[in-house]
Structure 1
Amino acid sequence: MASGDEEKGKVDLLEDNRIDSGIDSFKSLTKDEHYSKPVHELSPPEDGEVKDKLDSVTEERHDSAYISSSITVDNITDILKTCSAGSQDTESAETPDHNEQEVKNLLTTITDDGDTILHLAVIHEAVQFADWLIELFPKQVLDLQNNLYQTPLHLATYLDLPAVVRRLVDGGASLALQDHDGNTPLHVACEQGRGDCASEMTRNIPPGQLTPVLEAQNWRGVTCLHLATLHRRHRLMKLLIKKGANLNVQEGTSGKSPLHMAVELHDVSAVTLLLNKGANVDAAMFNGCTPLHLAVGRQDATIANLLCQSGADQMIRNMEDETALDLADGNDDILALFPFDDIQISGRSVVGVNF
């Protein structure tokens, strides 16, 4: 039984964006450097945590053929060489039984960080070996998640390996599984700007199967189109829209549509793209603010003009009972966009009246 300090250490490792597992740990690697700490020195997750994490996988990991191991990144090169050699040997009738068993043990291994040999092959960008493993493994193994809930497809996308992404998708890897931030592999592609990976993920997927992925929100409540907009990934925005992404989807915290976000970023190109593709110019946030409210409130006359030219309703009031004009704050460029023929004194229009 673990001591109180050990239990606290486990929680810290799992809940505080562990840097010793999955892709987060890879960030500290260079081609000439390796980890200084093997994974077997790290505290493994509780059984319950592993079970919860694998609910979305066809077979739970502790019921599969996979076993715990102390594989380290220090010896991954030797492991890959051994497995590659072993895979060739298994094709020969003269292969010794102990070599076959050695290969089997390596292939059916999961590190204390939850990484399969396929995860590690992807992390080390061993593309040919990863390709062999994808062909060898059944679909449910392709979808196994490590302790950061990352599948090999998440990692291949993060590392911008479109060839591996293609093989995983063709092999039946799920696009819908979410990592510890709630991101699907397509979320990762949009956040990191992996356009080629996103293209490989979506190229042969029927619209009905892709829609749930396009509509999925991560734990911050944003969809793939929101992320592409937030990171000014215009190419990815076009791809997602072409694949049927909802232009007016609201993120989960304040109800912003992608158009709201583009306006907040003063991204004229994204605003123009969304309007041209048919985004609702009068979409309202949870507080009633339209994109025009945001443009005027940010004193952005250029985008305010674009919205007005696209037919934005200038008289919509938000929950504070404010129209966009109320937020102009004396900006002459913005005030010039608004007609004043609705201003009346004693029931009579002031337009054309000489004072």
Structure 2
Amino acid sequence: MASDDCRKDDLLEDNRTDSGIDSYRSILKSEEPREPSADFSGPRDKISTGEERLDSAYGSSSITVESLSEIVGGCTLSSAQEEQAQSSELSEQENLLTTITEDGDTILHLAIIHEDTFISQQLIQLFPKEVLDIQNNLYQSPLHLATYLNLIDVVKGLVEKGSSLGLQDQEGNTALHVACQHGQIECATEMTREVSPSKLAPVLETQNWRGLACLHLAALNRQYQIMKLLVKKGADLNIQEGTSGKTALHLAVELHDVISVKLLLSRGANVDAAMFNGCTPLHLAVGRQDATIANLLCQSGADTMLRNMEDETALDLADGNDDILALFPFDDIQISGRSVVSVKF
């Protein structure tokens, strides 16, 4: 029943929304970085998605940290004549540059995983755009990895070289999704700075495999600065997630997040947006007995008489809560939330 949906546990406890919401958080916050191993036999802290590593070939590659510098140092951008004059040793080094490991990683993936900004930037200049967009077996592009690790300069270099913002990883997340999820405001800024609205709009509308667009992830993770950035860049405030039709305002209400609710309402979010079952944000606020947010919604003009698919108004869900009931006008006599006769004084 829709009333049950309106009263269900907060969205953060509902694992249907986005299985990736916490999947990388332990990597970025709980582990102290260490210097990378020279031979990959004892790699730096693993970066994982659940039980899978971001660098799917990190322990199996024969490329060492030292060899990264040697390989890149021996290769430069050159003319066709210069390329013909290159030694056989240089040709071998170039082959290493274009090698893809058994798990789909390029040398650029590996350089980023080692958080070697200098070598990563050299490789970005050396490689054509097509190589920059290679995805490994976990469908992670170099831009995904640079964003996970908050390597702002690398993200900037990739974007300036033309790396695609629309590539999706195994969770359906674009690199901008990742930035929104983890609060990487600088990375998000670089990804949206010089991008035309026509190119950025499809990215802002892209949903991951859990049906969440960038604004949804930012709202779920209380990333207020990123929410402001997305709205400034033209994100649809009323875009519905794909599983139940919630907007960012619905999600904020479910989280009891007053700051997000105020932010979204001030930017023009539809206060009466309906989920697939007809529940408005006010239905959700009343169902969760949140008088503070219910009051904010009413002050913003929420329609108290809208009915969901179970024919319930928000008043029907008040369940005798005096704080909630005080928000509703009693200009009419009502039975079960239905107006019977208007009383004139």
The answer to whether TM tops 0.5 is yes
Is 1:80 matched with 2:83? no
CA contact (8 A) 1:70 1:112 kept: no
Aligned to 1:301: 291
3-state DSSP class of the match of 2:211? coil
Separation in 1, partners of 2:187, 2:58: 31
Letter aligned with residue 67 of structure 2? I
Most deviating of 279-288 and 102-111: 102-111
3-state DSSP class of the match of 1:343? strand
Deviation at 1:103, TM superposition (A): 1.4
Letter aligned with residue 31 of structure 1? R
Aligned to 1:119: 109
Aligned to 1:31: 34
Separation in 2, partners of 1:350, 1:334: 22
Deviation at 1:264, TM superposition (A): 0.3
Is 1:106 matched with 2:96? yes
User: Percentage identity across aligned positions?
Assistant: 64
User: Structure 1's 29 and 142: CA in aligned 2 closer, same or farther, altered over 3 A?
Assistant: farther
3-state DSSP class of the match of 1:201? helix
Q: What's the TM-score, normalizing by structure 2?
A: 0.80
Once the two structures are superposed, residues 147-182 of structure 1 have per-residue CA deviations (whole angstroms, 9 ceiling, x without a partner) of 000000000001001100110011010000100000
CA contact (8 A) 1:189 1:195 kept: yes
Deviation at 1:338, TM superposition (A): 0.4
Separation in 1, partners of 2:340, 2:145: 66
| Selected match of 1:149 from 121, 125, 139 | 139
Is 1:259 matched with 2:262? no
Aligned to 1:46: none
Aligned to 1:4: none
Unaligned 5+ residue runs, structure 1?
Answer: 1-16, 18-23, 39-68
Once the two structures are superposed, residues 274-330 of structure 1 have per-residue CA deviations (whole angstroms, 9 ceiling, x without a partner) of 000000000000000000000000000000000000000000000111000011111
User: Structure 1's 126 and 348: CA in aligned 2 closer, same or farther, altered over 3 A?
Assistant: closer
Deviation at 1:335, TM superposition (A): 0.3
Once the two structures are superposed, residues 9-31 of structure 1 have per-residue CA deviations (whole angstroms, 9 ceiling, x without a partner) of xxxxxxxx9xxxxxx9xx99952
Is 1:213 matched with 2:203? yes
User: Structure 1's 99 and 141: CA in aligned 2 closer, same or farther, altered over 3 A?
Assistant: same
Deviation at 1:106, TM superposition (A): 1.3
Is 1:202 matched with 2:192? yes
RMSD: 3.0
Which of structures 1 and 2 has the bigger CA Rg?
A: 1
Deviation at 1:71, TM superposition (A): 8.1
3-state DSSP class of the match of 2:103? coil
Separation in 2, partners of 1:281, 1:301: 16
3-state DSSP class of the match of 2:203? helix
* 1:212-291 → structure 2 map (5 Å cutoff): 212-291=202-281
Larger RCO (CA within 8 A; separation ≥ 6): 2
Aligned to 2:154: 164
Letter aligned with residue 65 of structure 2? T
Separation in 2, partners of 1:78, 1:102: 16
Deviation at 1:211, TM superposition (A): 0.2
Deviation at 1:79, TM superposition (A): 2.1
Deviation at 1:82, TM superposition (A): 1.8
User: Structure 1's 347 and 263: CA in aligned 2 closer, same or farther, altered over 3 A?
Assistant: closer
Unaligned 5+ residue runs, structure 2?
Answer: 1-19, 21-26, 44-56
3-state DSSP class of the match of 1:282? coil
